[in-house]
């Protein structure tokens, strides 16, 4: 079991290394601490959102609403702080509450009303988007208090400037990894994704596990929202519109199976980094950005094909 | 909403509008419901329609480039009895057959903000001259740099978009660059007019060449993103950012010194001119035709010799968006 799991990370690690080697031969600016710090900053928002997406996909579900739930959270945070004069920390908590509530709504509809996750989150994607637009009147919120952009602050290690936000992302990946591998609720997520019926018969409260996963995913999207605000310095009602596909891309590239029950959280981080490395590297070599999209598409197909082949063997 | 219900509703709308025929009905179809530019355009049209006693119907595509959504909206508005339709075409070519059908039924169609291809596919066009907008900021940057060495990054819209191309080419022309492969352009990236994507693009451009000292941006959100990237490496003071749009947030950024100069355009004017033309057509049966340039003004607080501009006070008085 352990051996097969680490094998799964082999694909994304090899892809990432090959990309890095290729770009370091193409541009002398690629291989530097500063450039890697930059790539981390660029994948940070999608990276944190993709943690939630990974948990959902591990249960054999999917969450199309993530980017919109994030955007709604950011608009609540920024508008509360700027226009209602709510103290920043409280405003952030309000935004987090709204996103988490949306995650809970997803979980409720999936477990209690027994609707397919794809349809549920397609619905909430639209609902969250509309509420965001209506509440903000489609206008960007500016003039944020400093506390809202706290995670944009930086520190310096050996000449490399690192933002707090990227550190938070890495810390979160480590915490979720411990949660998934070392705790009972974490292992229950795998069990439910592998075979919900068998999980139920062994006494795992499958509905409670699913509700927890979707709710927690909503909470994670709000953290991603806070990181987005700290990165851009504004509340943008049009943020996150394609993030559902970007997070799914990261999850798939990381070797997690869309059929549920198989996958590793660090794979997702690698998946997000692969996309970021190609975007950054191709810019440095002067290639138009549309080729990055082309390469991402090819890699996604390869990753899913690899998953299919290993499933057949296993 | 299923098709049957939609059809019945459309029919009901057209029946009920037949009873209220005294009021001219004007349709406005924007590219999206969510871009602040179009939100303000809609508000301008609503205000004008109210003042002139016209009824305004509004609709939009789902996203920039959603032609099918615009076609549906056009058909529904004709069915609802609109005699004038104002449209910001998402796809300059693909929308033409639907427009032609509406015009054959006696509907006057006016393009706002961006042209159809060919331009005479509509009765008239009320829009900014995007090439000129680009030229203005190009000339401004040239006047500022003079003979100083320049390294340019361009944060464009996305491949093949006519507005993006016109602004980009206008900027190069205004700066005096004739060859697209000129060595002075060190980085060209798509920003999709989005702040976060603009920031990522600028960060990568600066990695490619940290000596970039002039940034052209397709719009002010992209400019704000570029500024964030420059600030992160402490270069925000010695790099010039020029932009296009003249939204209130953008003008405030010009005031704050984040953007050196921006070319302001006037979406509210496009909308109100369109509504006026529609009301006149309903009353007199006379259509408008040809291209009306709704104007573009260079806004900056650092005037340059030989380049006509207005200050941010003027910019703020005439900006669109949340003041």
A-B contacts at Cβ under 8 angstroms: 83
Identify the pLDDT of residue B2.
Answer: 58
Interface contact B34-A140, CB threshold 8 A: no
Among A38, A40, A292, pick the best mutation site for testing chain B contact (most B Cβ within 10 A). Answer: A38
Record the tokens describing residue B87, joined without a space: 């449209």
Identify the pLDDT of residue A1.
Answer: 45
Record the tokens describing residue B248, joined without a space: 């209130």
Query: Whose structure tokens read 């209506």?
Result: A134
Q: How does pLDDT run across A189-235, given as a tens digit for each residue?
A: 999 999 999 999 999 999 999 999 999 999 999 999 999 999 988 89
Q: Which chain A residue has the Cα nearest residue B160?
A: A290
Write out chain B residues lying below 8 Å of A279, CB-based. Answer: 200, 204
Interface contact B228-A133, CB threshold 8 A: no
Quote the percentage of chain A above a pLDDT of 90: 76
Given a contact cutoff of 8 angstroms between Cβ atoms, the answer to whether A132 and A68 are in contact is yes
Q: How does pLDDT run across A67-98, given as a tens digit for each residue?
A: 999 999 999 999 999 999 999 999 999 999 99
Q: How does pLDDT run across B210-229, given as a tens digit for each residue?
A: 999 999 999 999 999 999 99
Identify the pLDDT of residue A7.
Answer: 56
Given a contact cutoff of 8 angstroms between Cβ atoms, the answer to whether B136 and B307 are in contact is yes
Write out chain B residues lying below 8 Å of A35, CB-based. Answer: 207
Q: Which residues contact B158 (CB under 8 A, 6 or more apart)?
A: B164, B190, B192
Interface contact B203-A38, CB threshold 8 A: yes
Count helices and strands in chain B by DSSP H and E runs: 11, 12
Kindly indicate the confidence band of residue A27, based on its pLDDT and cuts at 50, 70 and 90: confident
Query: B67-79 vs B3-19: helix axis angle to the nearest 10?
Result: 40
Identify the pLDDT of residue A209.
Answer: 96
Give the separation between CA A262 and CA A230, rounded to whole angstroms.
33
Nearest by CB: A42 against B195, B203, B322: B203
Record the tokens describing residue B210, joined without a space: 């940290």
Contact of B195 with chain A, judged by CB distance below 8 Å, is answered with: yes
Q: Which residues contact B308 (CB under 8 A, 6 or more apart)?
A: B298
The nearest CA of chain A is from the CA of B100 a distance in Å of 32
Q: 10 Å Cβ neighbour count for A6?
A: 10
Give the separation between CA B243 and CA B255, rounded to whole angstroms.
13
Q: Taking the alpha carbons of B153, B155, B158, B160 in that order, is the dihedral positive or negative?
A: negative
Record the tokens describing residue A78, joined without a space: 């920024």
Instruction: Give A154: exposed, middle or buried? Use CB within 10 Å, 0-12, 13-18, 19+.
Output: middle
Phi/psi of residue A37, each to 5°?
-60, -40
Contact of B228 with chain A, judged by CB distance below 8 Å, is answered with: yes
Given a contact cutoff of 8 angstroms between Cβ atoms, the answer to whether B269 and B295 are in contact is yes
HSE (CB half, 13 Å, CA atoms) of B189? 34
Mean pLDDT, to the nearest integer, of A176-182? Answer: 96
Quote the percentage of chain A above a pLDDT of 70: 96
Among B195, B209, B229, B255, pick the best mutation site for testing chain A contact (most A Cβ within 10 A). Answer: B195
Q: How does pLDDT run across A260-307, given as a tens digit for each residue?
A: 999 999 999 999 999 999 988 988 887 877 788 888 899 889 888 887
Rg (CA), chain A: 19
pLDDT, averaged across chain A: 92
Q: How does pLDDT run across A48-73, given as a tens digit for each residue?
A: 999 999 999 999 999 999 999 999 99
Interface contact A142-B249, CB threshold 8 A: yes
Segments of chain B with pLDDT less than 70: 1-21
The nearest CA of chain A is from the CA of B37 a distance in Å of 9
Among B192, B196, B223, pick the best mutation site for testing chain A contact (most A Cβ within 10 A). Answer: B196
Identify the pLDDT of residue B7.
Answer: 53
Identify the pLDDT of residue A309.
Answer: 80
Q: How does pLDDT run across A218-230, given as a tens digit for each residue?
A: 999 999 999 999 9
């Amino acid at each position: 079991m352990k051996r097969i799991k680490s094998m799964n990370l082999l694909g994304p690690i090899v892809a990432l290394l090959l990309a890095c080697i290729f770009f370091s031969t193409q541009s002398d600016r690629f291989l530097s601490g500063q450039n890697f710090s930059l790539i981390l900053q660029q994948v940070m928002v999608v990276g944190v959102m993709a943690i939630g997406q990974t948990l959902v996909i591990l249960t054999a579900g999917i969450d199309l609403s993530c980017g919109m739930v994030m955007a709604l959270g950011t608009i609540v945070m920024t508008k509360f702080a700027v226009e209602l004069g709510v103290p920043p920390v409280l405003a952030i908590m309000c935004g987090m509450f709204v996103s988490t509530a949306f995650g809970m709504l997803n979980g409720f509809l999936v477990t209690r009303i027994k609707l397919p996750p794809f349809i549920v989150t397609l619905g909430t994607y639209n609902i969250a988007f509309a509420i965001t637009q209506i509440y903000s009147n489609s206008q960007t919120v500016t003039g944020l208090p400093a506390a809202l952009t706290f995670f944009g602050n930086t520190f310096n290690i050996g000449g490399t400037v690192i933002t707090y936000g990227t550190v938070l992302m890495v810390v979160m990946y480590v915490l979720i990894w411990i949660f998934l591998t070392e705790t009972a609720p974490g292992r229950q997520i795998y069990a439910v994704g592998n075979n919900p019926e068998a999980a139920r018969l062994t006494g795992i409260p499958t509905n409670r596990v699913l509700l927890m996963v979707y709710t927690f995913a909503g909470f994670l999207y709000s953290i991603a929202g806070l990181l987005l605000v700290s990165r851009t310095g504004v509340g943008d009602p049009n943020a996150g519109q394609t993030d559902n596909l970007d997070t799914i891309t990261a999850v798939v590239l990381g070797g997690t199976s869309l059929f549920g029950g198989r996958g590793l959280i660090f794979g997702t981080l690698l998946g997000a980094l692969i996309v970021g490395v190609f975007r950054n590297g191709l810019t440095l070599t002067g290639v138009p950005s549309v080729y990055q999209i082309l390469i991402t598409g090819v890699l996604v197909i390869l990753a899913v094909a690899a998953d299919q082949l290993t499933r057949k063997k296993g | 909403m299923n098709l049957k219900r939609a059809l019945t509703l459309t029919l009901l709308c057209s029946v009920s509008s037949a009873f209220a025929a005294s009021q001219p009905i004007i349709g406005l179809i924007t590219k999206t419901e969510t871009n602040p530019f179009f939100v303000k355009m809609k508000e301008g049209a609503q205000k004008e329609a109210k003042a002139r006693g016209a009824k305004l119907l509004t609709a939009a595509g789902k996203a920039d480039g959603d032609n099918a959504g615009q076609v549906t909206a056009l058909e529904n508005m004709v069915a609802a009895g609109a005699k004038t339709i104002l449209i910001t075409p998402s796809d300059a070519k693909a929308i033409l057959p639907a427009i032609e059908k509406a015009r054959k039924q006696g509907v006057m169609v006016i393009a706002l903000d961006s042209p159809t291809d060919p331009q005479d596919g509509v009765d008239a066009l009320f829009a900014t001259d995007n090439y000129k907008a680009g030229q203005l900021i190009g000339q401004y940057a040239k006047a500022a740099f003079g003979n100083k060495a320049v390294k340019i990054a361009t944060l464009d819209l996305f491949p093949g978009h006519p507005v993006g191309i016109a602004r980009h080419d206008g900027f190069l022309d205004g700066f005096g660059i004739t060859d697209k492969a000129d060595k002075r352009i060190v980085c060209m990236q798509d920003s999709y007019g989005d702040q976060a994507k603009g920031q990522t693009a600028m960060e990568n451009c600066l990695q490619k060449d940290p000596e970039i000292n002039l940034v052209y941006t397709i719009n002010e959100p992209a400019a704000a993103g570029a500024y964030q990237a420059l600030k992160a490496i402490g270069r925000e003071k010695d790099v010039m950012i020029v932009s296009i749009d003249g939204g209130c947030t953008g003008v405030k950024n010009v005031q704050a010194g984040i953007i050196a100069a921006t070319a302001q355009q006037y979406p509210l004017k496009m909308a109100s001119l369109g509504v006026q033309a529609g009301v006149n057509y309903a009353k007199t049966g006379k259509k408008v035709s040809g291209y009306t340039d709704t104007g573009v003004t260079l806004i900056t607080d650092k005037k340059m010799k030989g380049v006509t501009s207005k200050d941010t006070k003027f910019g703020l008085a005439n900006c669109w968006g949340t003041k």
